[in-house]
Amino acid sequence: MKETPNKQNRRRGTSLLLSIIFIFGIFGTIVFAVSRRISKEMSEAAIQNLSESLDLIESTIEAILRSEVEFQKLIAQEIARAENPEEYIRVYEKNQIVAKMSLILSGRTEGVSNTGERFTEEDLDFSAGGTILGLPISRSYLNYMGTWSYTIKCPVKRDGEEIATLYAEYVYDAIDQSLPEGFYNKQASLYIMDAESRRFVLKPKGMGQRSAGHLNLNDFYRANNIQDPGIQEEVEACLNSGRNILFYHDIREERALNYMWSVNNGTIFLVGYVPVEAIQQEGRTVNQNIMIVVVSLMTAFFLCIVLYYLSWKQQDKLRKEQETERRLHSQQLAEALHAAQIASESKTMFLSNMSHDIRTPMNAVLGFTTLLAKDAENPAKVREYTKKITASGQHLLRLINDILDVSKIESGKVVLSFEQFALNDVVSSVEAIIQPMAKAKRQEFHLEMTGIQHEYLIGDETRINQILINLLSNAVKYTPEGGHIWFRIIGLKQRSDQYEHIRIEVEDDGYGMTPEYLKTIFDAFTRAENSTTNKVQGTGLGMAITKSIVELMGGTIEVFSEVDHGTLFRVDLELRVLEEAIDRQFWTQRNITHLLEMVGNQESREMIPSLMKDTGVGIDAAANTEEALNLIHGGADYQLVLLDWEDFGLQAVRDLRQELPKAVPIILLAEFSAEGIEEAFQYSPTGILTKPFFVSALRRKIEELWAETDGARGPELKEDSDLKGMHFLAAEDNEINGEILVELLEIEGASCEIVTDGRLAVERFQRSEPGEFDAILMDVQMPVMNGHEAARAIRSLDREDAGNILIIAMTANAFAEDEKAALDAGMDAHVPKPLDMELLKKTIKQFGRQKEKL
Amino acid sequence: MHMNRRRWISACLAVLTALMLTSCGYEDPKNLISQNEGDERVVNLFSPMEKTDPNAENVARTASDLTVAMAEEALNVTMFYRTYTAESYQEKTYDEICLDRARNNMDDLYLLNPDAVLALGAEGKLQDLSGLDSAKNLREIVRTANTVDGKLVAIPQEVVAYGLFINKDMFAQYSLTLPETPEEFLECCRVFQENGIKTPIGANRWWLETFVFAQAYADLYNGGNTAAEIAALNSGEAKYSDYMRPGFEFLQTLMERGYIDAEKALVSEAIEGEGEDFLAGKTPIVMAYWGAANTETAYGKTDFEMEVIGFPSSRGQMPVIPMTGFAVGAEAEHREDAMRVMDIMVSDEALQIYSETNRVISPSKNIKVDCVPALKPLNDRIEEGVYVLGSNAGMNVEQWGNTCLIVRKLLGGASVDECMAAFDELQDTALKQS
């Protein structure tokens, strides 16, 4: 099992995609792991960082508290030394460190303050038990200045005896001054909370920190949405035990580290939060840079993939194009090889066929010549043998002609010779050939002609004949005995006035052809082969020749066939109409001005006036006897009556004859094989015209009838009917052919002198007496000097008769172009080999007369 | 083709080289600490703070912040914001803290209530602001209300008007027209109560005095004889208690009939106590200041149709206007900067921004701004010139703070007569001082 390139490509694409996904997967995992590790380390670093910062602040505050206590102890010592401790207090000026200083002497409940008013301990709450360096510290409260403060009390001892208690009030604002400004780039919030009351006693200053949460811990929870009971419990536990707590909680949708940091063993706490990003500013940059690197790598990777893909695609495209080209070449080569093989096979088969087909008649020729030699004394047998030899020879000739035809057509050397011709001549000559063949096979042959507008046309009559004979003889050949053959000539609608558009149909109900064979029917060297047709002889070239000729004429040929149902060939041709007017004189000379036409078939009835429209003869049409009689009775003067024999028969002839003047001939239009027509002759003058109707045929018939009437039949044909006494000079390089020629001419009473090449012919003619030769028969292919050159040389001789001596080309090159070449060389006519004496005689007669006239 | 490719390659190389040079061309400075330009100038601002939802925008604060920011930018100073909020009614009030802090020069700028303005002004603790450029733009009423002993001691950023915030849907539900007089007001309350609304008025310990002012001074400020009547009060010819009595009696009636929950009111902070029920449509009437109608954290966004009207009085619906204002400590540490800040914060430019943001009445005579639809009835009255002042520095007895305290006594169970006696005592003290 081999995979198709598409499948291979798809598999390659899938594996490439999987590889990319795999690489991405690995890459993603690594990046993810690294990120997680970095983020974990950063988180730990952030906690450590914040802890260190808070420790620092804690130490600072504790240092302030300790220094305050130290200061207070010093004051206490001074008071102890003072004579009047209360007076010392009264005159003590408040300063930035101590907002208020009070003293209660031992044993009293009231004391004095440096602010002037009476002082009691009632408003202070030392119940929490907080101490600094052993001195009690009060719960935080709002002092007389409207700010949060605390009081530390210190015993005043004189000589070891406690004489009073010193109360010093400190404000948290003093601590505020020592706290860092711009804690974490001013993004951190920092409160100082009194642990006992949970009140915030020092709040952040400045813009942007006013929103909420300044009042107390609950307010902080509410404002920052710290509602998790677990966290609150944990915080509570830490507050009660004076431990630090640090936890993550999102503040305004931003990840933040929240803290409650114990100061002075938990009497006060640092409370607040720091957005993690504020701590990890460099981390963020690192992350961003990692991301940039990752994105750059990914982009580069993607670009590489895209470039690779594009390059791969381009290469693939190139490869595909090359592959397509290669495939096309291979295909073309294969086709060419196949065609060559077929051609070779065809030619082999053709040669084999030819071999067989040539050998068969050759066998007959040789066989009969043997018999001829044996039975030379028996004139009857000799005649019989010669007849058969002639038949075989003619078959051989046909075969050779076909081969040559094909060869010529294939090499494009065929030239059509356009001449004026009458359709009638074509049809009748074809019919004359086919009709007997059909009859021999007891086939019914039907000839139909409809819609033809012009009878005289211009075209290659011989080739048209060839087409028709090929088609019809095939129809006869491939139709079994008793079958039917239809030959139709249909005039189609003219596309131009100057052209007759003719459709020729040849239909039979014979063996038919298989669809496969139909495809090759027009190919050369093919022949229908099956058990039925094997006995049919042929060259297998007929249809190829036919098609080539049709196409050469600018026509089309189609074939429709079904096995056992017959075949229909349809040839469409456009033939030029003869522009010259038909000789009206013919009719006027014979006083034919009116004609009665009595034809049953409407199409035929209409066609006759159409064909005769140029003759100037008026035509009345009658569809039946009654109409015809009425027309005659109506006083019409008809010089001729045309009557369809098949439609009306003898009775109509009889009826008409009774009413017509005796001189008016009745011409019967009849089928070739019309029966019982002889009886009509008793109603003379009567003539028979074979269907279909042609004007030329009618003219010929009228000539005949008039001649009979005049009793003047010319003896023309007998005149100069032979070659008796004539002397020829023949140039023929083939000795046998020369001998045959001499013999044949001698049979005709003529003599001939043979020369073996063109030069000799020229020399001999040069030496001859004027009038010594009646004509020169010139072979074309000869050694030393060929026929054409010899003809030119003779014409160019300085002799009186050099220009008009009849030179007839006599060559096996029997085509129109050969004839043309001969004429071009200065020869007068062309007679093909093998020599047909009748044709030679006819040609000599024709051209001899012309020369005489000159 | 080749030329193009070469050009591309050259361009890419050039860009690459430039990038490399840029990335390598950085030079470390010798001193790694960035140098600050000069010392930072600071102004401490003490102002009240509201507890708010952390994610809600407080319009009033934003408007004020905008003007503060203007000053900071213009003068290159930093404003430090200090605040205080009582945790409960037992603790010191904001006003008390204001007094303490101003007396001890703790801050530079203060946002003071009228009573504090009067008290501190009288003590000479506040700087005279009349010399500021922006003071020239002030409306006369504003100037009068903030002048103590001939000194302009405070300038507000808005004229704070108090009114009744009405749930119109509930009034419509019981086919009630909005009350004009005290009698009509009582009738409305009766109907609400009969329809199951036990306490139709939501109150706190601060703002019930507005009812008293409306009735007390409706004639004084709108009768065309204001100066003479105030002069009579200052000289002792007329008694404050006589003016105050109808209002107190009215409050007494409201309490007796249960239209007000006196006990709750006495311990409730502003808006915190009564706001929830009002927003929930349980209470049809509350009292609040103008800005509350613009602020989402107060009554700026209600599910019902709200309207703000004046308090009931013999002269119909009566807006009450106390004058809060910014003041500068006379002995403040950064007094000069504070004065400059003040000049910018109350300049026409700043007040325009403030008024447009908060849609309030501006103290500058040059600025007029459209109000929200709910405030239209109140605004119409003020524009007509019909209102009473909740504070007047021209009166020798401070009104806003004292009345508030005396109303609390009433809430606490004191009789109207006892309350009137308190006024008389205050008047006597004032007369003696003068």
Is A373 part of any domain?
no
Interface test with B, best of A100, A196, A205 (most B CBs within 10 A): A205
Query: First vs last Cα of chain A: how many Å apart?
Result: 87
Residue A363 clears pLDDT 80, i.e. is over it: no
* Integer Cα distance of A403 and B372 in angstroms: 115
Residues B258 and B407 in one domain: yes
For residue B262, give the 3-state DSSP assignment: helix
Domain at A546, CATH number = 3.30.565.10
Q: How many domains does chain B have?
A: 2
Domain boundary at A119, A147, A168, which? A168
User: Are B265 and B205 contacting, i.e. CB atoms less than 8 angstroms apart?
Assistant: yes
Which of A616 and B38 is assigned the larger pLDDT?
A: A616
Across the A:B interface, residue pairs with CB atoms under 8 Å apart total: 73
Q: How confident is the model at residue A514 (pLDDT cuts 50, 70, 90)?
A: confident
Write down the residue that tokens 């003759």 correspond to.
Answer: A615
- Domain containing A100 equals 12-168
Half-sphere exposure of residue A615: CA atoms within 13 angstroms, side-chain side? 26
Helix or strand holding residue A604 (H, E): helix A602-611
Residue-wise pLDDT for A639-684, tens only, equals 888 888 888 888 888 888 888 888 788 888 887 767 777 777 777 7
pLDDT at A346: 65
Residues B237 and B172 in one domain: yes
Which of B25 and A590 is assigned the larger pLDDT?
A: A590
Is A323 part of any domain?
no
Query: Amino acid letter at A227?
Result: Q
Residue B419 clears pLDDT 60, i.e. is over it: yes
For residue B94, give the 3-state DSSP assignment: helix
Q: Do B79 and A216 touch (CB under 8 A)?
A: no
Of A108, A69, A111, A121, nearest to A89 by C-alpha is A111
Q: Copy the structure tokens of residue A151.
A: 């009081």
Residue-wise pLDDT for A145-175, tens only, equals 888 899 999 999 988 899 999 999 999 888 8
B68 closest CB neighbour out of A145, A207, A222? A207
Looking only at Cα atoms, what is the longest distance across chain B?
Answer: 109
pLDDT at A388: 79
Is A784 part of any domain?
yes
For residue A832, give the 3-state DSSP assignment: strand
Residue of B nearest to A225 (CA): B54
Is A643 part of any domain?
yes
Query: Which residues, other chains included, contact A728 with Cβ-Cβ below 8 Å and sequence gap of 6+?
Result: A745, A750, A751, A752, A753, A773, A774, A775, A776, A777
Residues A705 and A783 in one domain: no
Is A310 part of any domain?
no
Is B389 part of any domain?
no
Interface test with B, best of A207, A222, A224, A254 (most B CBs within 10 A): A207
Domain boundary at B342, B359, B382, which? B382
Q: Do A146 and B100 touch (CB under 8 A)?
A: yes
Q: Do A205 and B99 touch (CB under 8 A)?
A: no
pLDDT at A824: 87
* Integer Cα distance of B46 and B111 in angstroms: 6
Is A134 part of any domain?
yes
Query: Chain A residues with CB inside 8 Å of B82's CB?
Result: 203, 205
Of B201, B206, B205, B203, nearest to B190 by C-alpha is B201
A215 closest CB neighbour out of B85, B96, B97? B85
* Integer Cα distance of A289 and A830 in angstroms: 105
**What does residue A644 show for φ and ψ, rounded to 5 degrees?**
-80, 115
Q: How confident is the model at residue A435 (pLDDT cuts 50, 70, 90)?
A: confident
Helix or strand holding residue A346 (H, E): helix A281-374
Which of A362 and B112 is assigned the larger pLDDT?
A: B112
Q: Do B104 and A145 touch (CB under 8 A)?
A: yes
Residues A630 and A703 in one domain: yes
Neighbours of A177 (CB within 10 A): 9
Angle at B383 (CA atoms; ends B378, B384), nearest 5 degrees: 100
Is A720 part of any domain?
no
Residues B211 and B313 in one domain: yes
| Residues of chain B with a CB closer than 8 angstroms to some CB in chain A | 44, 49, 51-55, 58, 61, 65, 68-69, 72, 78-85, 87, 91-92, 96-101, 103-104, 106
pLDDT at A567: 92
Residue of B nearest to A203 (CA): B82
Q: Copy the structure tokens of residue A426.
A: 């074509």
Smallest CA–CA separation between A214 and chain B, in Å? 8
Q: Do A147 and B98 touch (CB under 8 A)?
A: no
Let me know how many helices (H) and strands (E) chain B has, helices first.
17, 12
Residue of A nearest to B69 (CA): A207
Residues A614 and A531 in one domain: no
Let me know how many helices (H) and strands (E) chain A has, helices first.
22, 30
Percent of chain A scoring above 90 in pLDDT: 17
Query: Chain A residues with CB inside 8 Å of B68's CB?
Result: 207
Write down the residue that tokens 């109506």 correspond to.
Answer: A634
Residue B56 clears pLDDT 80, i.e. is over it: no
Is B187 part of any domain?
yes
Smallest CA–CA separation between B407 and chain A, in Å? 25
Give the 3-state DSSP-derived string for A82-97, with helices as H, strands as E and coil as C: CCCHHHHHHCCCCCCC
Query: Chain A residues with CB inside 8 Å of B64's CB?
Result: none
Residues A137 and A73 in one domain: yes
* Integer Cα distance of A601 and A636 in angstroms: 23
* Integer Cα distance of A740 and A725 in angstroms: 18
Q: Copy the structure tokens of residue A443.
A: 């086939």
Query: Chain A residues with CB inside 8 Å of B58's CB?
Result: 211
* Integer Cα distance of B45 and B101 in angstroms: 11
Query: Chain A residues with CB inside 8 Å of B334's CB?
Result: none
A146 closest CB neighbour out of B55, B69, B97? B97
**What does residue A695 show for φ and ψ, rounded to 5 degrees?**
-65, -40
* Integer Cα distance of A255 and A252 in angstroms: 8
Is B10 part of any domain?
no
Pairing of strands B77-82, B41-46: parallel
Please name the residue ranges forming H helices in A1-147.
Answer: 5-81, 85-90
Residues A658 and A752 in one domain: no
B265 alpha carbon, distance to own chain's centre: 20
Residues B330 and B307 in one domain: no
pLDDT at B196: 92
pLDDT at A225: 84
Residue of A nearest to B95 (CA): A146
Q: What is the DSSP letter of A295?
A: H
Domain boundary at A713, A735, A761, which? A713
Domain at A87, CATH number = 3.30.450
Give the 3-state DSSP-derived string for A443-492, with helices as H, strands as E and coil as C: CEEEEEEECCCCCEEEECHHHHHHHHHHHHHHHHHCCCCCCEEEEEEEEC
* Integer Cα distance of B121 and B422 in angstroms: 23
Q: Do A210 and B81 touch (CB under 8 A)?
A: yes
For residue A268, give the 3-state DSSP assignment: strand
Residue of B nearest to A219 (CA): B51
pLDDT at A815: 66
A145 closest CB neighbour out of B55, B87, B106? B106
* Integer Cα distance of B377 and B384 in angstroms: 11
Residue of A nearest to B80 (CA): A206
Residues A150 and A190 in one domain: no
Query: Chain B residues with CB inside 8 Å of A293's CB?
Result: none
Is B28 part of any domain?
no
Mean pLDDT in residue range A253-257: 87
Pairing of strands A775-778, A806-811: parallel
Query: First vs last Cα of chain B: how many Å apart?
Result: 103
Q: Do B91 and A142 touch (CB under 8 A)?
A: yes
Residues B152 and B240 in one domain: no
Residues A610 and A509 in one domain: no
Angle at A673 (CA atoms; ends A670, A678), nearest 5 degrees: 70
Angle at A632 (CA atoms; ends A628, A636), nearest 5 degrees: 125
Average pLDDT value over all residues in chain A: 82
Domain at A644, CATH number = 3.40.50.2300
Q: Do A207 and B104 touch (CB under 8 A)?
A: no
For residue A274, give the 3-state DSSP assignment: strand
Q: Copy the structure tokens of residue B384.
A: 């007509």
Q: Do B106 and A147 touch (CB under 8 A)?
A: yes
Q: What is the DSSP letter of A754?
A: E
* Integer Cα distance of A266 and A65 in angstroms: 13
Mean pLDDT in residue range B181-190: 95
Q: Copy the structure tokens of residue B198.
A: 């036990």
Percent of chain A scoring above 70 in pLDDT: 90
Residues B358 and B411 in one domain: no
Domain boundary at A514, A549, A577, which? A577
Residues A565 and A591 in one domain: no
Smallest CA–CA separation between B104 and chain A, in Å? 6
User: Are B67 and B75 contacting, i.e. CB atoms less than 8 angstroms apart?
Assistant: no
Is A354 part of any domain?
no
Region of A208 on the Ramachandran plot (φ > 0 left; ψ -120 to 50 alpha; else beta):
left
Which of A491 and A397 is assigned the larger pLDDT?
A: A491
Residues A141 and A89 in one domain: yes
Pairing of strands A245-248, A131-132: unpaired
Query: Chain A residues with CB inside 8 Å of B106's CB?
Result: 145-147, 173
Residues B210 and B274 in one domain: yes
Query: Chain A residues with CB inside 8 Å of B81's CB?
Result: 205-207, 209-210
Smallest CA–CA separation between A254 and chain B, in Å? 13
Residue-wise pLDDT for A772-806, tens only, equals 888 899 988 888 888 899 999 998 888 888 888 88
Which of A280 and B3 is assigned the larger pLDDT?
A: A280
Query: Chain B residues with CB inside 8 Å of A252's CB?
Result: 54-55
Average pLDDT value over all residues in chain B: 86
User: Are A101 and A169 contacting, i.e. CB atoms less than 8 angstroms apart?
Assistant: yes
Residues B82 and B196 in one domain: no
Region of B252 on the Ramachandran plot (φ > 0 left; ψ -120 to 50 alpha; else beta):
alpha
Is B8 part of any domain?
no
Residue A404 clears pLDDT 60, i.e. is over it: yes
Query: Chain A residues with CB inside 8 Å of B55's CB?
Result: 252
Residue-wise pLDDT for A227-236, tens only, equals 889 999 999 9
Pairing of strands A594-598, A640-644: parallel
A653 alpha carbon, distance to own chain's centre: 68
Query: Chain B residues with CB inside 8 Å of A142's CB?
Result: 84, 91-92, 97, 100
Query: Chain A residues with CB inside 8 Å of B85's CB?
Result: 214-215
Of B114, B140, B161, nearest to B371 by C-alpha is B161
Residue A358 clears pLDDT 80, i.e. is over it: no
Interface test with B, best of A140, A142, A199, A252 (most B CBs within 10 A): A142
Q: How confident is the model at residue A568 (pLDDT cuts 50, 70, 90)?
A: very high
- Domain containing B273 equals 162-320+394-433
pLDDT at A531: 39
Residue of B nearest to A141 (CA): B91
Domain at B61, CATH number = 3.40.190.10
Crossing angle, helix A542-552 and helix A461-477, to 10 degrees? 150
Residues B222 and B328 in one domain: no
| Residues of chain A with a CB closer than 8 angstroms to some CB in chain B | 142-147, 173, 199, 203, 205-207, 209-216, 219, 222-225, 252
Residues A697 and A605 in one domain: yes
Residues A816 and A707 in one domain: no
Residue A208 clears pLDDT 60, i.e. is over it: no
Query: Which residues, other chains included, contact B373 with Cβ-Cβ below 8 Å and sequence gap of 6+?
Result: none
pLDDT at A820: 81
Residues A446 and A545 in one domain: yes
Residues B215 and B341 in one domain: no
Query: Amino acid letter at A127?
Result: S
Residues B291 and B414 in one domain: yes
Query: Chain A residues with CB inside 8 Å of B341's CB?
Result: none
Residues B225 and B345 in one domain: no
Smallest CA–CA separation between B409 and chain A, in Å? 25
Residue-wise pLDDT for A112-125, tens only, equals 998 888 899 888 98
Is B19 part of any domain?
no
Q: What is the DSSP letter of A752?
A: E
Q: Do B49 and A213 touch (CB under 8 A)?
A: no
Q: How confident is the model at residue A357 (pLDDT cuts 50, 70, 90)?
A: low
Is B31 part of any domain?
no
Q: Do A211 and B58 touch (CB under 8 A)?
A: yes
A207 closest CB neighbour out of B52, B55, B81? B81
Q: How many domains does chain A have?
A: 5
Residue B255 clears pLDDT 90, i.e. is over it: yes
Mean pLDDT in residue range A345-365: 69
Residue of A nearest to B65 (CA): A207
Is B166 part of any domain?
yes
Domain at A255, CATH number = 3.30.450.20
Give the 3-state DSSP-derived string for A134-184, with helices as H, strands as E and coil as C: CEEECCCEECCCCCEEEEEEEEEEECCEEEEEEEEEEEHHHHHHHCCCCCC
